[in-house]
Structure 1
Amino acid sequence: MKSSSKPPAGDGGDSLRTVVIAFVANLGVAIAKTFAAVFTGSASMVAEAAHSWADTGNEIFLLVANRRGARGPDDRRPLGYGRETYFWSTLAAIGLFVAGAAVSVWHGITSLLAGESSSENYLVAYVVLAIAFLLEGVSFLQSVRQIRGEAAQYDKDFLDYALETSDPTLRAVFAEDSAALIGIVIAGAGIGLHQLTGSAAFDAIGSILVGVLLGIVAFVLIDRNRRFLTGEPGSRALWNAVVQRIEQLPEVASVRFVRIEFVGPKQIYVVASVDLVGDFAESRIAHTLRRLERELETNRAVVDAVLTVAEPDEGDIGDVNAVAQQP
């Protein structure tokens, strides 16, 4: 396998900026919510504080993921270190589940069973939730801008791209910020119903609902990272684009087999078998294939390409007419 010194593909700077903004916003929100939770005793506010501290810790994991995954190929890792991004992002998602979801549900259930009643400092809770909504909104809009720009570049639907993108840090920030905004609304509703009815059960139920929401988000993020860690092959459109690119090489008569695997954010490994145009001397075949591989690798998204001559009885993949896209 060849080793390359080219940098990994993708807009690493945009993702890093998105994560940093999310970290700063979540840290400020976590401090404010903790103050409000102590001051009001609200179960929903405790859940929201746990949620924000979990998000803050997660952003640290995402920063590590962004940094370690950005390293290019070397002799020890010919395909680069992109998969580390998925590993550290998975740890962030597990942290969201344990520190956010589990704590919120547990506190809500214990408050519900104990019949605990929070203090009547409702104004403090509302002010903090409003500030948190604004700060989370800033981070959310940054992730939305990045997703919208990349989705338009690849001609994808916004939500489809948010779920399918090979960039786990971008997906994590968008999902966590979306959950944060919904969680703030749930917490506000729980506190409001407590104020209107005098029953602390609504506050406790709000805490449980926030925890369930975080659990769902964490599960989705873990599952997506699992798929990329275990060899995500990419979409049909990406496969079509790679086949088209190989068919455009003048020495290639036809493409018999193509295998694509993500090895990092916007980084793919390509294996293909082809028929070559004309008759090549055996001594020239290897040289020609290596040259074609290098030509494919001029695309920054292609970390490594391996081409072989197809066997005579190998099937034909057929004609491809899809519009070329980048991963």
Structure 2
Amino acid sequence: MSASGGTKAIIAALSANLAIAVAKFVAAFFTGSSSMLAEGIHSVADSGNQLLLLLGGKRAKRASDKTHPFGYGRERYFYAFVVAVVLFTIGAVFSLYEGWHKISQPTEVESPIWAFAVLIFAIIAEGFSFRTAVKESNPLRGRQSWVAFIRRSKSPELPVILLEDLGALLGLIFALFGVTMAVVTGDGVWDGIGTLMIGVLLAIIAIVLAVETKSLLLGEGASPEVEEQIRAAMESAPEVARIIHMRTLHLGPEELLVAAKIAVEHDDTASDVARGIDEAERRIRDAVPIARVIYLEPDLDRLRTTNA
């Protein structure tokens, strides 16, 4: 992921959510709508989440030290996981509680014009934010489906913003549905139903984000396509007879560790082996620039020796 692209999407989402949160709280005050209140809390949670993503990106840039010799790249995964937890605890749980409370003790929606005006404004603002996230994601997504992109992306920011913005748009539609039905029928229960729908939606998005970021936190290897590029580059080095085995690990979205045992000819000198390793590392970095940490262990090509 382009760091600037991810930051641009985060700032666009943050700007939209701060403006929308204020508008929603004003509408909730005048209308007494639980859907609007839940949406206001949702926007506040989203704004906090975007600040967490910006903080994670900044902290991930710290230089490596003795305590963290491979750097702090995974800070971005940690803060993305915190975003999922915040989205669930603050957004989903509050909305579910407020929806249940509204259904148990329904009240009439007052001054609905406030709610409709704010929801229309919010849909336009969230649409702009979502469009920015889609635009920044497309170069990275390539020909992948959106589901595959969210599941396979090693950079957490854009998938998080995409799901947040999508959830925000759907949440606004649910809020609009609840308020509209409450006004048309005169029954405040519909407002509570819209709030429950928002809570369920946020819970689903939070769980998806938690599962995906947990996998990144535990440590994911390079994609099959990237691993194939690394293998091809390594095997193209003259002194590398073959790859015995290889492991990769993302130390961060833009930093990959490559460890491999390579077979060399039994009559190669130490100088030949050293030169071959240096050349293999150079070719790997040319092919995959994010392969910044490379460990290659030479071994005799026992398979070829045995066959001979």
TM above 0.5? yes
2:41 aligns with: 50
User: Which is worse superposed, 259-268 or 134-143?
Assistant: 259-268
2:128 aligns with 138
- Within the candidate set 63, 68, 72, 1:77 is matched to 68
- The equivalent position to 2:78 in structure 1, one of 67, 80, 87, is 87
Contact 2:238–2:276, Cα closer than 8 Å, also in 1: no
Per-residue CA deviations over 1:96-124 (Å, capped at 9, x if unaligned) read 1111001100111111112x314331111
Larger deviation, residues 224-233 vs 281-290: 281-290
Instruction: State the partner residue of 1:63.
Output: 54
Shift of 1:164: 1.6
Structure with the higher helix share, 1 or 2: 2
SS in 2 for 1:82: coil
1:303 and 1:197 mapped to 2: Cα distance? 62
CA distance in 2, matches of 1:59, 1:107: 24
- SS state of the match for residue 241, structure 2? strand
Distance in 1 (CA, whole Å) between partners of 2:303 and 2:265 is 17
* Corresponding residue for residue 289 of structure 1: 277
TM-score by length of 1: 0.86
The separation in 1 between residues aligned to 2:108 and 2:272, in whole angstroms, is 80
2:96 alignment partner in structure 1: 105
- One-letter amino acid of the counterpart of residue 21, structure 1: A
Going from structure 1 to structure 2, the CA distance change for 1:310 and 1:109 (only over 3 Å counts) comes to farther
Q: How many correspondences in the alignment? A: 303
Tell me which amino acid in the other structure corresponds to 1:178. L
CA distance in structure 2 between the partners assigned to 1:93 and 1:145 by the alignment: 23
Structure 1 residue 245 and structure 2 residue 236: aligned?
no
Residue type matched to 1:91 in 2? Answer: V
C-alpha deviation, 1:290, in angstroms: 4.6
Q: Which residue of 2 aligns with 1:322?
A: none
In 2 relative to 1, CA 184–84 (structure 1 residues): closer, same or farther, beyond 3 Å?
same
State the Cα distance separating 1:247 from its structure 2 match.
Answer: 1.6
In 2 relative to 1, CA 71–11 (structure 1 residues): closer, same or farther, beyond 3 Å?
farther
- The one-letter code matched in structure 2 to 1:213 is L
Counterpart for residue 195 of structure 2: 207
Output the CA distance in 2 between the equivalents of 1:250 and 1:281.
14
Structure 2, unaligned runs of 5 or more: none
Moved more, 187-196 or 282-291: 282-291
Partner residue, 1:319:
none
Over the aligned positions, Cα root-mean-square deviation in angstroms equals 2.1
- Give the Cα–Cα distance (whole angstroms) in 2 for the partners of residues 98 and 53 of structure 1: 13
Correspondences of 1:273-312 after superposition (within 5 Å):
273-276=261-264, 279-282=267-270, 285-286=273-274, 288-290=276-278, 292-298=280-286, 299-310=288-299
User: What amino acid is aligned across from residue 82 of structure 1 in structure 2?
Assistant: G
Q: Secondary structure at the match of 1:252?
A: coil
Asked whether the 8 Å contact 1:65–1:169 carries over to 2, the reply is no
1:119 aligned partner: 109
Q: Does 1:13 align with 2:16?
A: no
Paired residue for 2:218? 230
Question: Does the Cα contact within 8 Å between 2:36 and 2:115 map onto a contact in 1?
Answer: yes
Note if contact 1:82-1:265 (Cα within 8 Å) is conserved in structure 2: yes
Letter in 2 for 1:302: A
1:65-104 superposed Cα distances (whole Å, 9 cap, x missing partner): 1111234545553422110100111111111111100110
Whether contact under 8 Å (1:12, 1:70) holds in the other structure is: no
How far apart are residue 11 of structure 1 and its match? 1.2
Tell me which residue corresponds to 1:128.
Answer: 118
Partner of 1:38: 29
SS of the residue 1:81 aligns to = coil
Indicate conservation of the 8 Å contact 2:181/2:191, yes or no: yes
Q: TM-score of the superposition, structure 2-length normalised?
A: 0.91
1:184-222 deviations in whole A, cap 9, x for unaligned?
Answer: 001100111111111111110110110111111111111
